[in-house]
Structure 1
Amino acid sequence: MSTDEFEERLTALRPRLHRYCARMTGSTVDGEDVLQDTLVKALSARAEAARVDNFEGWLFRIAHNTSLDLLRRRSRNTVVPLSEDFEAAPMPEADIVAVSFQTFLQLPELQRCAVILKDVLGHSIDEVASIADCTPAAAKSALQRGRTALRQLAKMPTDTRLPLMPEAARQKMAAFVDLFRMGDFNAIRAMLADDVKLELVNRLKWEGRDKIVPYFTRYAEETKWRFSFGAVEGRPAMLVFESGAMEKPAYFVLVDWRNEQISAIRDFLFAPYALDSANWVRLGLA
């Protein structure tokens, strides 16, 4: 496989890999971090001439192990009590997609892996077993238990409130969004730290105040976007809507601060898959 073909296949699989990583980690943003680590590891393995017989399975195995590494660092693995009355039938795809990332996080790791790979991404039991490094029997059992657990969780009352964000973080992000809406990019540039980092997820990374000037120039020239203050998974965010399509954001932007300066901007323009089933809410600017 040529380098160009290798990178093309990585790009094509990126949304599917993110769906897996986001549900495994319980966060669309953490899922993107795990996805990027996965791609770095894949490129490194290629440079070392790793033998790959099943490209997609190999890539999902790396994503699986990288997700587990993050989960173990967080020491979060909540087990859901289950009955022994297993249900073998899959949940309807629409119901699976609607399940929140945090609900998936309540399943034990192997159950979560099995349900995501089989019912969300369409892998076979044998493929699940290969990716999760277990026997097909164990994968099938985990799938049955995971499906049962999700049905039980779906019947339970849910608290859909997002975590409260600190008032200082709310005010800073609201001001950032207000300046974007007014097109006052000079004011935003004045808030940038000298070593500010910009990531256009799935496209490029820049560092330095002078380096990222074109980012604001291009937004100043674009007229199809509408900006709103909100939250994604409880994090202050700028929600970006296409003009005339205000029901759901097209993507979102996160901003990190160091004291009163902007230290990092993470823009998901080129990674719209990150909003798939993510918890988001529009908030008032005031």
Structure 2
Amino acid sequence: MDDDRDAQDWLEAELADSLDEEWEIELEDSILSREIKKIYQKVHPETLPRPVYFTELLRLQAELIKLQDWVLHTGQKVVVLFEGRDSAGKGGVIKRITQRLNPRCVRVVALPAPSEREKSQWYFQRYVPHLPAAGEIVLFDRSWYNRSGVERVMGFASEEEVENFFHDVPEFERMLVRSGVKLVKYWFSISDEEQQMRFLMRIHDPMKQWKLSPMDLQSRIRWEDYTKAKEDTFFRTNIPEAPWYIVEGNDKKRARLNCIDHLLSQFDYAEIPHEDIHLTERVYNKDYERAVLPPELYVPRKY
């Protein structure tokens, strides 16, 4: 009876720890100046209740673990692209997807601006080394669609280079699919007013100011140019082998749940049976004495 109670207490403690981990992430969204917080609440009066959000998130994350096991067991190769306007919520959903998964088979790729050497290469060349092997899932936090988005709008690519990209990308993606890669493309969409609100929140939140770059501020000025570039990208790259899926991102919590739920729906995965795991007894050596280590090796106990 005591053993059962101890096990129950341990499981409750583990669940509480998981919730604490998610709560720590949620705190990122709540450290705001009071005035900005008031404005935000007026714009978003019907927020998803926290218990509902946490319950659904943990349920979906449990399914993601099943998907991960299935991908590993069957040798699937998965690529998921996350595109969208700055502050649209791509990073938030990527964080929730990977939060409880094995980083050895699920990894995130967020490439910096290309080097001078990379600029002289075939455009897709720097993305190819990051593509998955069998049993891997790769999430691209922005992808080769930089060329039809920021590079085009900001003038980092010529019209000829953009046109060549639009000519090449459908065939490049068809090649990936023919090679056995499952390619899923998400575009996170937010309104003009919502992006302005999120930028204001970043400006007033010291813990998020690092997320603002000069390029982000330019995206506000060039909102309509980005809109035209997005529409052109959809029109020319929405192919049957790799269609675009738009995630409405004005409500962060709903966007995360909707995206994860949709991603799971793209796979006919099944739960992979595992052998029962038994913890073996430790081997004790009566002659072994644990060495006493010098105190300076230990991290100070400040908490």
TM-score, structure 2 length as denominator?
0.21
Structure (1/2) with the larger strand percentage? 1
Structure exhibiting the larger radius of gyration computed from Cα positions: 2
With a CA cutoff of 8 Å and minimum separation of 6, indicate the structure with the bigger relative contact order: 2
